[in-house]
Amino acid sequence: MSVDTALQRQVRALREQIERHSYQYHVLDDPQVPDSEYDRLFRDLQALETEHPELITPDSPTQRVGAGPLDAFDEVRHSVPMLSLDNALTDQAMSDFDRRLRERLDRDGVIAYAAEPKLDGLAISLRYEDGVLVQAATRGDGTSGENVTHNVRTIAAVPLRLLGGDWPKVLEVRGEIFMPKQGFESLNERQRAQGAKTFANPRNAAAGSLRQLDPRITAERPLTLFCYGTGEIVDHPMTQTHSGNMALLKHWGLPVSPELAVVTGIDACAGYFEDIGRRRDTLAYDIDGVVFKVDSLADQVELGYVSRAPRWAIAHKFPAQEELTVVEAVEFQVGRTGAVTPVARLKPVFVGGVTVSNATLHNMDEVERKDVRVGDTVFVRRAGDVIPEVVRVLLERRPEHTEPVVLPGACPVCGSQVERLEDEAVARCSGGLFCAAQRKEALKHFASRRALDIEGLGDKLIDQLVDTGLVETPADLFGLTVDAVAGLERMGEKSAANLVDALDKARDTSLERFLYALGIREVGEATARSLARQFGKLDAVLAADEAALQQTPDVGPVVAQHLHTFFEQPHNREVLAQLRKADIHWPEHEPVAEPESLPFAGKTFVLTGTLSESRDKVKERLQGLGAKVTGSVSKKTDYVVAGTDAGSKLAKAEQLGVAVLDEQGLADLIAEVGTA
């Protein structure tokens, strides 16, 4: 019977795609499609060959496993082939697998299965002769692989000599070399620090590490091993079950999965699969399913093999955590700290058990590095509860006339200027006082103890004020009434009155506290204090250009740019005007040219005990006079200001002979220098 030429072309095209992806995955360690796409292509080819067996050829991907070895390593021929596993993607496929086995075994009862997580690493064959490791080889094409003995010897989990003395004369052990999640993250951090290429996932990292031509590089990589089976065995009876053999391997010092268990019947298989699925994200390593093997070795022999896989084993795969989809748009979101983050809007795709339509692109550096564009076909990965991310672009599928993604110049939420420094990956909205996306964080900082110190205005109350629409900017706080606040959850009339009083008290502040309260990037307390000394008045700060701002101690080009950008935003200027209208005030003065000219310049003070006003205010007053205020007493301390209940600091000052002042003594000292 002749076969349609179009069908022949379809089969040939499928084989070519599978071989190309297999080469990328097994030889180059650089897969171009996710596993789910490869599996789909493979199943399509299997279906066509099943329907038209005359199309099957010896070199079809369905008749062999993987790809050939790299030329850089010697070839090793496996004495017992290393086969692949068939996959079950649904519960029904698992039930069909169990039914087929019971029919072949002519068994009415249930079957006992050895079950363990399916690791996402690199298959390895270890050959021990007289208990000593003599060879390690990759799976390769299943018949021959690559000799990686020198590299495997560097992996601490692989014993160079077996424990005990009852092992076989020849023992081939099959296992998976992999990289735990924590080791993978540490490795990528080191790669980034060295300016080297990072790895897409732990599987690629493990494969790339094992195939280094220099074993010293492999030795630096956090690789480990779990054993899952055996190959050739000479002069040893072993046991009657797979699980028994795994116990022997463990007895001889070979690591096996701690999750290995024997379950009886298909319902127990489903229970194990569900349990591992629930715990998947808590495991120290990546897995992509569960492997079930008939535990009885006699039953395994009776069941036998198909061309590329044993009949007695199957991999029940989890829903794909990587999938292919198309970028339909790229939008920008603004976070609570002002970070402007690119987000890919995707053609919906089922990944890791959920439908995904959005994925993070992290920042513009990542967008530019991956060259993500609207219309691109991309890898999307979802791991556990982590936000889905675009991993890679398939450039060969890029449509014509696409355009690079460009960072917006204005915030998509409030319209303020978006600021991105040359050496920074993250872009930020500069409208901190006005931007709705940053509203809660801006208010929390504004009210904090070292800013305007608004007593009673905590995080939960700020959340309520914003959520109910009572407050949009810091200026709105000072228009709150007792009646409006008393209507909020857990806020009675007394609490509301206390808050309104605290807000009224906070109107009287200092310029340095006010500048710090604005939440300008990289403007901390010290920088705010320097600005207040340098300019003396808010209007002078607002009028200063970047060059003038850089004349301030602690203010370099980066901070000067942050300040200038913040103050030139109309929305921020509007809120500043509203704050002044709400009678937020502070004493202003003429600029102080040099801090060294202040009366307490070069003097060090320590505050201890309970003072009649807050330590922060006393500290501000002293710093305004040029003093340095520290938290510990030493020989370099000039004065200790002691309030009531002063403790160890007062004792140490007396021991060292440091001058001690009470509050009246401090007031007299300040008055003295003020009239000098």
Residues 242, 337, single domain; the answer is no
In a domain, 426, yes or no: no
Residue among 448, 464, 616 at smallest CA distance from 518: 448
- Reference 389, options 416, 422, 363, 411; nearest CA is 363
- Kindly state whether residues 233 and 140 are assigned to the same domain: yes
Among 274, 185, 204, smallest CA distance to 34 is for 204
Answer for the pair 179, 205: CB distance below 8 angstroms, yes or no. yes
What CATH number has the domain bearing residue 105? Answer: 3.30.470.30
Q: Which helix (H) or strand (E) holds 85?
A: none
Assigned domain for 285 exists? yes
Cα(637)–Cα(631) distance, rounded to whole angstroms? 10
Domain annotation covers residue 431:
no
Indicate whether 664 belongs to any domain. yes
The residue that leads in pLDDT, 383 or 341, is 341
Domain count of the fold of the chain: 5
Same domain, 243 and 350: no
**Contact (CB, 8 A) for 307 and 86:** no
Domain end residue (candidates: 337, 368, 397): 397
Task: Please report whether residue 416 resides in a domain.
Answer: no
State residue 241's pLDDT score: 97
Pick the catalytic residue: 118, 293, 317, 649? Answer: 118
Residues 554 and 662 in one domain: no
Same domain for 269 and 202, yes or no, is yes
Residue 2 has pLDDT above 60, yes or no: no
Q: In this predicted model, what pLDDT tens digit does every residue of 208-251 receive, in sequence order?
A: 888 888 888 888 899 999 999 999 999 888 999 999 999 999 98
CATH number, residue 364: 2.40.50.140
Q: Using an 8 Å Cβ cutoff, are 337 and 368 in contact? A: no
Q: Which residues contact 121 (CB under 8 A, 6 or more apart)?
A: 176, 177, 178, 179, 202, 203, 206, 207
pLDDT in tens, 140-199: 888 899 999 989 989 989 988 898 888 999 999 999 999 999 999 999 888 888 877 788
In-domain check, residue 402: no
- What is the model's pLDDT at position 615? 81
| E strand or H helix that includes residue 288 | strand 287-294
pLDDT at 372: 96
Residue 502 belongs to domain with CATH number: 1.10.150.20
Average pLDDT over residues 479-483: 95
Least confident range from 300-304, 449-453, 617-621: namely: 617-621
> How confident is the model at residue 1, as a pLDDT?
43
Average the pLDDT over 118-129 and give the result: 93
Mean of pLDDT over the chain: 89
Residue, of 624 and 418, whose pLDDT is higher = 418
pLDDT in tens, 69-114: 556 788 899 999 998 899 998 899 999 999 999 999 998 899 999 9
Residue 645 has pLDDT above 70, yes or no: yes
pLDDT at 648: 87
Q: Over 70: is that where the pLDDT of 302 sits?
A: yes
Q: CATH code at 32?
A: 1.10.287.610
CA distances from 191 to 152, 179, 184 (A): 22, 15, 10
Confidence (pLDDT) at 65: 60
Helix (H, G, I), strand (E, B) or coil at 637: coil
The mean per-residue pLDDT over the stretch 509-528 comes to 92
For residues 19-31, average pLDDT: 71
- pTM across the whole model: 0.59
Residue 466: what pLDDT?
93
551 located within any domain: yes
Query: For the ranges 368-382, 421-435, 589-603, which has the lowest average pLDDT?
Result: 589-603
Q: Confirm if 475 and 575 have CB atoms less than 8 A apart.
A: yes
> Does 308 share its domain with 340?
no
Whether residues 31 and 59 fall in one domain: yes
Co-location of 487 and 607 in the same domain: no
Closest by Cα among 277, 278, 299, 301 to 290: 277
Same domain, 266 and 387: no
Q: Mark which of 317, 351, 378 sits at the end of a domain.
A: 317
Q: Are 643 and 559 within one domain?
A: no
- 511 and 373 in a single domain? The answer is no
User: What does the pLDDT look like over 489-508, one tens digit per residue?
Assistant: 889 999 999 999 999 999 99
- Measure the CA–CA gap between 122 and 652, rounded to whole angstroms: 63
For residue 317, indicate whether it is catalytic: no
Distance in angstroms (rounded) separating the CA atoms of residues 555 and 420: 18
Its domain, for residue 574, covers: 436-581
> Distance (Å, rounded) from C-alpha 23 to C-alpha 16?
11
Residue 66: what pLDDT?
54
Q: In this predicted structure, what is the pLDDT of residue 627?
A: 83
Whether the CB-CB separation of 411 and 340 falls below 8 Å is answered with: yes
Last residue of a domain, one of 547, 581, 615: 581
The answer to whether position 406 is within a domain reads no
Q: Do residues 337 and 361 both lie within one domain?
A: yes
Specify whether the CB–CB gap between 368 and 390 falls below 8 A.
Answer: no
